Structure 1
């Protein structure tokens, strides 16, 4: 792997992005494999390695900054570029609650969003291993104008149906509920800011 130095002089567009993405994918795959065998200690260990990985942090910063830029361009027709120096400054303050208050409020919220994205990436592989989805779709002619959602749990399966005026979509998602540890899910979700409304 090509080594790189991350400081205030670093040009982010010249970082070895393919290698960074490859390292992140390898770590996500390790979490996925640990989740498939249901080894909690191995899951925690690989998730800890994932969250503390510099490559994951760099990729999360870049992805979040690109997402913000494209969102503002699309909706407000404004262009927001986050400088490489700011990205490096954000990198040094990720998961550092002690010095976060010294930063500008807008950068604090950006650090918060990036931390949430890292946690999302960390949990994504674990949950992909735990849930297997089967989709059955029924489509009728017409254009949807009003949507009604219904969630039904029946016989250890989860059904979601979306009913529109002339349009019907039924999604049958198989979730093996008997294998889900509800206390574990609640414990995980309490420590995450992802689930809080903005």
Structure 2
């Protein structure tokens, strides 16, 4: 326990931060695994830990001092006794008579809860989208209706730790999700906090984070819309013929059939399809994995699971038919190919995932640029 005369600058901050990071990592992993029981357990532990309380007090008071030093050219220092007093009454501030301490404690508790929910929701965020929206003031709540629906939506999404959800609900309802940055004419000396609604407020950590949580629905909606969007493309293939692909109909399947035929068969002098006997059996699966990779990349705006299953069915059926005509299928050949099939399937699955994500981001930022 910290004594009244303890110098806070000499606290073991490295150990304190390391301890908090370790707990946040556990929350992050539990959120990734959807292990809600363990997630809430670690959140409660972090919220009641002295390390998190001390860090929240230190950060909040540091922001206050930075504000006055930057905008008023004044320096205010909270002594160690007051810091310990805040620490003792952090969850029992109703016993304090000092109103400025009560307002400071509200912001300290907000930072404390931010430490608890940040790793939980970070596991659900997209890094690129999250970074893009970080500096945008998208949610300007100018009237009661907007504020009400914003608060209601946030509470519905934060169905988790009861104490955290209830605390955020109270802060949103009372409009307490603010920071000390850019507070209008606040006076520490007069022991009062004046109105700050007429200034450009830099949103607090917690409030910014709530904005990001709201945007998760928007991101998934755009991803869903991209999945169902079909785009007409003009593509020149390696075989020097032009395909016009529209995902809305079966032209993609026609293109797939044609590519398979041109790969497995050749056209003779009488314009008939004949087996391409020059193909090497050992490299056939590799060749098809490359062909499918290029086909997905060029011709599909979004690679759905249904499309993958149809593609695999057509390729497998075509390969089977080609092998029946080309060689005698035996158990040895089938066993020989099993490992290769697994390897190339994994390769294609990873490529499909990467292509979907990359195309999503490209389309997303093009959409944002054209707004």
| Counterparts of 1:129 and 1:25, CA distance in 2 | 15
Of 114, 119, 131 in structure 2, the residue corresponding to residue 120 of structure 1 is: 114
**Quick one: structure 1 residues 137 and 81, their matched pair in 2 at CA, closer, same or farther if it must change by over 3 Å?**
closer
Q: Which residue pairs with 2:296 in the alignment?
A: none
Q: Which residue pairs with 1:17 in the alignment?
A: 13
Indicate yes or no: 2:191 matched with 1:191. no
Structure 1 segments unaligned to the other structure (5+ residues):
139-146, 151-180
| Counterparts of 1:89 and 1:137, CA distance in 2 | 37
Structure possessing the higher radius of gyration over alpha carbons: 2
| Residue 75 of structure 1, CA deviation | 1.5
| Residue 148 of structure 1, CA deviation | 9.5
| Counterparts of 1:191 and 1:91, CA distance in 2 | 18
| Residue 197 of structure 1, CA deviation | 2.6
| Counterparts of 2:13 and 2:158, CA distance in 1 | 38
CA contact (8 A) 1:69 1:81 kept: yes
Indicate yes or no: 2:41 matched with 1:50. no
| Counterparts of 2:129 and 2:31, CA distance in 1 | 23
| Residue 115 of structure 1, CA deviation | 0.7
| Counterparts of 1:71 and 1:91, CA distance in 2 | 22
Q: Which residue pairs with 1:80 in the alignment?
A: 76
CA offsets per residue over residues 159-178 of structure 1, 9 Å max, x none? xxxxxxxxxxxxxxxxxxxx
Q: Which residue pairs with 1:182 in the alignment?
A: 157
RMSD over equivalenced CA pairs, Å: 2.9
Indicate yes or no: 2:105 matched with 1:111. yes
SS of the residue 1:130 aligns to:
coil
| Residue 133 of structure 1, CA deviation | 3.3
**Quick one: structure 1 residues 137 and 126, their matched pair in 2 at CA, closer, same or farther if it must change by over 3 Å?**
closer
Q: Which residue pairs with 2:22 in the alignment?
A: 26
SS of the residue 2:6 aligns to:
coil
User: Which structure's residues are more often strand, by fraction?
Assistant: 1
**Quick one: structure 1 residues 29 and 136, their matched pair in 2 at CA, closer, same or farther if it must change by over 3 Å?**
closer
Q: Which residue pairs with 1:155 in the alignment?
A: none
Q: Which residue pairs with 1:141 in the alignment?
A: none
**Quick one: structure 1 residues 132 and 10, their matched pair in 2 at CA, closer, same or farther if it must change by over 3 Å?**
same
SS of the residue 2:76 aligns to:
coil
CA offsets per residue over residues 132-163 of structure 1, 9 Å max, x none? 2334999xxxxxxxx9969xxxxxxxxxxxxx
Q: What is the TM-score of this pair, normalised by structure 1?
A: 0.68
| Counterparts of 2:129 and 2:62, CA distance in 1 | 31
| Counterparts of 1:136 and 1:107, CA distance in 2 | 33
The count of residues paired between Structure 1 and Structure 2 equals: 154
CA contact (8 A) 2:158 2:165 kept: no
Q: What is the TM-score of this pair, normalised by structure 2?
A: 0.38
